[in-house]
Amino acid sequence: MRARLLGMVWFLVALLVFGLGVPLALSVASAEQQDLFLDRLTALNRFSSLAQQPLTDDQPELLRGKLDRYAEVYGVSVLVVNPEQEPAVDSRPVPGRPAISTADPVVATALQAALAGRRGSPGSLLTPWDGDPLVLAGPVLADGEVRGAVVIVSPTDASRESIALWWLAIGAGGLLAFGLALSLAVPVVQWILRPVRRLDEATGDLVSAVVSGRDVDPVGDAHGPPELRKLGRSFDRMAASVGDALAAQRAFVADASHQLRNPLTALKLRLVNLEGHVDDAADVHRTAAVAESDRLNRILDELLAMARAENTRGDLVPVDVDAVVAERAADWRVVADARRTTLEVDTSVGPTRVLMPPRGVDAILDALLDNALKFTGPGSAVELSASVDDDRVRLTVRDHGPGLREEELVRATDRFWRGNSHQNVPGSGLGLAIVSKLVERVDGELTLVLPDGGGLAVTVEIPVAD
């Protein structure tokens, strides 16, 4: 947009400079031509008046002294002819210029007009590249009769040089004005587009900012045109409203999950206490109700974990990755043994630390290991590895379960999303969504691949703390 605006400004400035410069240049050329024409016309009228008596008395040689003197001073050739268009007297030849010839078509045309009683005109516009001389002819009248004609052939070098200098000055002035306008146009266009650029950047940052809970940087400031400043302030109000709405939604989810935990726990206790107090037919439904209450408890736990993962206002803390991996592997190995699954751990992180939200690495490992163990059958293995590569800690959990289809990988981190083949497996579909939010918080990277041999490998890369 900046390039288009500058292009439009440059085009308008060029059009203005051209529209003013060309008429000015033509006006200067016309003025120079008119000055030359009037000066030579005055001389022509003078010689026409002086030639009346000598031509009437048939003594044209009386004019030679005046003609020679004029040619010597001004470098202009003069010729006097009789009514038959025959030369009567002329000035001495001007050095470097040919004598006037009545056979010259331009001279002959001018003489015919003069002998017909008409005076010469300035002719076409004088330009620096036009080297033709100015030819003027006028009749010599005596008692109303044409007794001959006077023709002047004047060089135009001085006038053409003057026009060229004027045109160069006009061109230089136009270029200077064009350059000055361009130098002023760049900061003006930048001033106009600064709010637009900030709005564009803020729009791109709005979604990620409000979803992650960060404040959107305000764009409404004192720069730019009033209309764009008003638009920026409107955008700030809109972004604040969206952020407040999403923050209220997160608070509601967290509060609701927390408030529902106590009555749900009491409900489960009541169902457990009914064991042995209901008949066998009703006990089936009691057992199912207990299972559903456990499922609701897991969903509430994951909703709380999601709320904590989306809360970006808390500080990041340094975390010893090796210690957390060892601790979580020990806890989940109990679950793996109960499911007759092997949990293989390979860690080479050492004393490396990363910056994460409190218990963020724990939540990532819990979510990944929970998913892997749920989808891995008895007698198989789940592999957990941790390593450091290029200032990034890489955590990988690989299972040997059914895995996902290639087209399902892009949706695996969506909230509550579950694959069609996993509908009968307990879970809420929030595990990878929680991991994605925690990794996004620290500018990490989450990768899902389908390894050879089946299953799913989930890799989390987290920057090493400075």
pLDDT tens-digit map of 350-380: 888 898 888 888 888 888 898 888 888 888 8
Q: Kindly give, in sequence order, each residue whose CB lies less than 8 Å from that of residue 117, ignoring residues fewer than 6 positions away.
A: 139, 141, 146
Question: What CATH number did the domain enclosing 300 receive?
Answer: 1.10.287.130
> What integer pLDDT is reported at residue 396 of this predicted model?
92
Instruction: Give the distance from CA 261 to its chain's centroid.
Output: 52
* Statement to judge: residues 25 and 98 lie in one domain: yes
Cross-strand partners of 146? 141
For 143, the token pair is 């008692």
Range from 15-24, 124-133, 268-277, 381-390 carrying the lowest mean pLDDT = 268-277
* Statement to judge: residues 328 and 277 lie in one domain: no
Classify the C-alpha dihedral 146-87-93-123 as positive or negative. Answer: positive
Number of domains in the chain: 3
* Statement to judge: residues 263 and 387 lie in one domain: no
* Statement to judge: residues 6 and 154 lie in one domain: yes
For 373, the token pair is 């163990």
pLDDT band at 420 (very low <50, low <70, confident <90, very high): low
Distance, in Å, from the CA atom of 36 to the CA atom of 17, rounded to the nearest integer, reads 28
The residue range of the domain holding 87 is: 2-163
Question: What CATH number did the domain enclosing 144 receive?
Answer: 3.30.450.20
Question: What CATH number did the domain enclosing 439 receive?
Answer: 3.30.565.10
Average pLDDT over residues 146-170: 89
Cross-strand partners of 79? 90, 151
pLDDT band at 391 (very low <50, low <70, confident <90, very high): confident
Residue 387 is assigned to a structural domain of this protein = yes
* Statement to judge: residues 332 and 415 lie in one domain: yes
Residue 174 is assigned to a structural domain of this protein = no
Residue 207 is assigned to a structural domain of this protein = no
Average pLDDT, the chain: 81
pLDDT of residue 328 exceeding 70: yes
Predicted TM-score (pTM) of the model is 0.47
* Statement to judge: residues 325 and 304 lie in one domain: no
Per-residue model confidence as pLDDT tens digits over 172-220: 888 888 888 778 777 777 777 777 777 777 776 676 666 555 666 676 6
Distance, in Å, from the CA atom of 446 to the CA atom of 459, rounded to the nearest integer, reads 6
* Statement to judge: residues 393 and 343 lie in one domain: yes
Could you say which of 263, 298, 313 is where a domain stops? 313
**How much of the chain, in percent, has pLDDT values that exceed 90?**
5
* Statement to judge: residues 318 and 240 lie in one domain: no
Strands 457-463 and 445-449: antiparallel
* Statement to judge: residues 340 and 232 lie in one domain: no
* Statement to judge: residues 236 and 149 lie in one domain: no
Residue 205 is assigned to a structural domain of this protein = no
Per-residue model confidence as pLDDT tens digits over 70-127: 888 888 889 999 888 888 888 888 787 788 888 888 888 888 888 888 877 887 888 8
Count CA atoms closer than 13 A to 140's CA, side-chain side.
26
Residue 281 is assigned to a structural domain of this protein = yes
> What integer pLDDT is reported at residue 266 of this predicted model?
75
* Statement to judge: residues 227 and 275 lie in one domain: yes
Residue 170 is assigned to a structural domain of this protein = no
Could you say which of 253, 282, 313 is where a domain stops? 313
> What integer pLDDT is reported at residue 151 of this predicted model?
92
Residue 305 is assigned to a structural domain of this protein = yes
Could you say which of 280, 313, 346 is where a domain stops? 313
* Statement to judge: residues 13 and 121 lie in one domain: yes
Residue 199 is assigned to a structural domain of this protein = no
